[in-house]
Amino acid sequence: MKKIIIVILTIFLLTGNNDYQELNDLSIVTALAIDYKDNNYLISFQIQNPNNNNKYIIYDSYANTIDKAFNNVLTKSPNKLYYKHLEILYISQTIAKNHMDNIIKYFTENNITRNEFNILINKTNNISTLINEPAINIRNLIKTNTNNIGISQNLKFNDLLNDYLNPYKELTIPSIEIDIDTNNEIKLSTIAIFKNNKLIDYLSEEENIGLNIINNKLATTTLKNNCNNNNYYVTKIHSIKTNLNPDLTNNTINININGKYEINKLNCKNNITELQINDNLKSIITKTINTFKNYNVDTINIQNLYYKKEPNYFKRNYKYWYQHYQNTKTNININLTKDEKKEALGGLYE
């Protein structure tokens, strides 16, 4: 009997777990869109409709602080809002340019969400279309994209927070846009690059692939290469493994990329050598690195690599990093080999 009493008492007194809430009293928020207009934060809530799985209830709320905007929604919603299942957070370009600190602070300090939701920059500022799209679809879209094409990035809030707190890292956030050409469909767009937590610009698709390859986050991708007279050939690259070796004394970073490729020649009748394919990828990587240098932003986090390798040396010699950044040399080494297993025997022309 003593044992039972002790067990029951410990449950009540030591765990502090007493937030009982029935599912009926909760509204599950699956997506949030935050914008900043006329000195007000404008938040749209996508809430799962319990009566119909495919329809959503949308609430809008605004106030001059984020906290107030989050509280004001309770004047509209009959149930308590439950943010732990938030899947996507859309932030507008204004927010990305000027108010990133507030947003990250709000979500970390209030602890109302899990840290596992995706963040996307709303590139075309069309909140109503985005918020009506099921958040789970968008989440799966990002997942598929990062695995197969690599023009986006599967960025969870946790990763963003790590980058934000690391003084040697710059933020990158993927973006989403409305494709006006094709009947207002939603389309993943490229990564936005930040400097000092402020949005600078968006990358091109090719640069995006380059960045993902450097960061070792790309499993498979397809590259289109020019052959001759408007013809082109396609290489499918997979099993990519990237190694970054910083050399602090020479201010050089060695990039070693290993992987396999399959080739689809289509109308191109030229003989394409392995060297050509390797050079092609090399040019993409070089172009990406040069783009970052043009913006004077260290998006591939060379300073972080330096710091990790030899923190004391880094602190002594590269105290003001951006004075040294432009002089950084890169030594790119690419070793793609043909994947014989997946090659169709002969092909049409052989």
Q: How far is the CB of 13 from other proteins (least distance, A)?
A: 11
Residues 12-31 that bind other proteins (CB under 8 A): 12, 15, 17-24, 26, 28, 30
The token pair that represents 63 in the structure block: 């106030």
Tokens describing residue 72:
């004001």
50 in contact with other proteins (CB under 8 A):
yes
143 lies in the binding site for other proteins (CB under 8 A): no
At closest approach, how far in Å is the CB of 59 from other proteins?
17
Q: CA–CA separation, 203 vs 30, rounded Å?
A: 28
Task: Check residue 54 for interaction with other proteins (CB under 8 A).
Answer: no
Under the binding rule (CB under 8 A), the answer on residue 46 touching other proteins is no
User: How many angstroms separate the CA atoms of 157 and 171, rounded?
Assistant: 12
Q: For residue 234, which of 247, 246, 224 has the smallest C-alpha distance?
A: 224
Residues 143 and 196 sit within 8 Å (Cβ to Cβ): no
Site string for other proteins, 70-89 (x = CB under 8 A): ------------x-xx-x--
Q: Which is nearer to other proteins, 134 or 210 (CB)?
A: 134
Spell out the SS3 assignment of 105-124.
HHHHHHCCCCCCCEEEEECC
DSSP character at residue 344: P
- Minimum Å gap between C-beta 155 and other proteins is 18
**Of 10, 216, 239, 290, the one binding other proteins by CB under 8 A:** 10
From the CB of 109, what's the least distance to other proteins, in Å?
18
* CA atoms 257, 263, 264, 270: torsion sign: positive
Q: Which of 62, 72, 94, 136 binds other proteins (CB under 8 A)?
A: 136
Run of H or E residues at 301:
none
Give residue for tokens 């009997």. 1
Q: Which of 5, 39, 51, 273 binds other proteins (CB under 8 A)?
A: 51
Stretch that binds other proteins, among 33-41, 43-51, 60-68, 339-347 (CB under 8 A): 43-51
Give the total of residues touching other proteins (CB under 8 A).
28
Q: Which of 46, 48, 221, 299 binds other proteins (CB under 8 A)?
A: 48
Quick one: tokens of 139? 């989440």
5 binds other proteins, rule: CB under 8 A: no
Quote the tokens at residue 26: 């909760």
Distance of alpha carbon 106 from alpha carbon 34, whole angstroms: 12
Alpha-carbon span 279 to 285, nearest angstrom? 10
Strand pairing class (198-202; 185-195): antiparallel
Q: Which residue has the tokens 């869109």?
A: 33
Q: Say whether residue 322 binds other proteins (CB under 8 A).
A: no
| Contact flag: residue 7 with other proteins (CB under 8 A) | yes
The reply to whether 212 sits near other proteins by the rule CB under 8 A is no
User: Is the CB of 55 or the CB of 269 nearer to other proteins?
Assistant: 55
Residue 298 CA to residue 316 CA, distance in Å, equals: 19
Q: Should residue 157 be labelled a site residue for other proteins when binding is judged by CB under 8 A?
A: no
Q: Which amino acid is at 202?
A: Y
Residue 3 contacts other proteins per CB under 8 A? yes
Q: Nearer Cβ to other proteins, position 15 or 230? A: 15
Nearer to other proteins, 36 or 70 (CB): 70
Pair 225, 252: CB distance under 8 Å: no
Give contact residues for other proteins (rule: CB under 8 A): 3-4, 7, 10-12, 15, 17-24, 26, 28, 30, 48, 50-51, 53, 82, 84-85, 87, 114, 136
